Structures are given as C-alpha cells and as structure tokens.
Amino acid sequence: MGSGHAIDWLIFNAGVSEVYALDWLIVMEQFLFDMMGLFTLPRYLVERVGSVTDDGIPLVFQANTFGHYYIVLPIYKDMLIKVKTPRHPLNQHK
C-alpha cells in the first residue's frame, strides 16, 4: 500500500460446499410443507464429507475460513509495522 491509502472495510464471502446430489423426496416434502425452508435451510442437499486439498487441508475449511486468514495476514502484519501510535484523538496528547 502506498502512502495515504487506507483500508476502511474488508468484506470476505465464501460459500463452498460439495453438493453432488439432491434428495428429491425431501425436496418435494419441503416444497409442500416448508416453502421458506426450501430456500433458506435446505435439507435435501447431499454433500461429500472429508474432502481435502492437495496440501492436506480440508476443502471446505480452506475455502471458507483459512483462505480469509491467508489473505488478511500480510495486510495485518503490514499495518502493525506501520502503526506507531493509535490515531484516536484522545490518545494524541503532547
């Protein structure tokens, strides 16, 4: 980052899931008796469990959690090095 640039917001979004099939009986059940749940809390997704990436980290964890940490870590370290004192007005007394 150059001088005078700041990061005010950093939003991460991930949603990796290994869905490989739909349970059509449960789809119909939710369609008939729980329309809201059909779209907000689907119970009909059949997912793989235990998949890992080439480096041995669980796939869903790596994409949904560890990836964010890996991206933020260098930025956070850079911020810690550059910040000498807090910029809060109450802390600037001389």
Residue with token string 């059509």: 24
49-72, pLDDT tens digit by residue? 899 989 998 888 888 888 888 888
Asked if the structure places residue 72 within a domain, the reply is: yes
Distance of CA 5 to the CA centre of its chain: 25
pTM of the model: 0.53
Do 59 and 39 lie in one domain? The reply is no
* Residue 4 maps to a domain: no
Instruction: Express each pLDDT in 7-53 by its tens digit.
Output: 778 788 888 889 999 999 999 999 999 999 999 999 999 999 899 98
Domain count, the chain: 2
44 and 56 share one domain: no
Instruction: Tell whether 79 and 56 lie within a shared domain.
Output: yes
DSSP characters over 18-77: -EEEE-HHHHHHHHHH-HHHHHHS-S-EEE--S-B-TTSSBHHHIIIIIHHHHHHHHHHH
Same domain for 42 and 58, yes or no, is no
Q: What is the pLDDT at residue 92?
A: 55
Asked if the structure places residue 62 within a domain, the reply is yes
Q: Is residue 9 part of a domain?
A: no
The residue range of the domain holding 72 is: 52-85
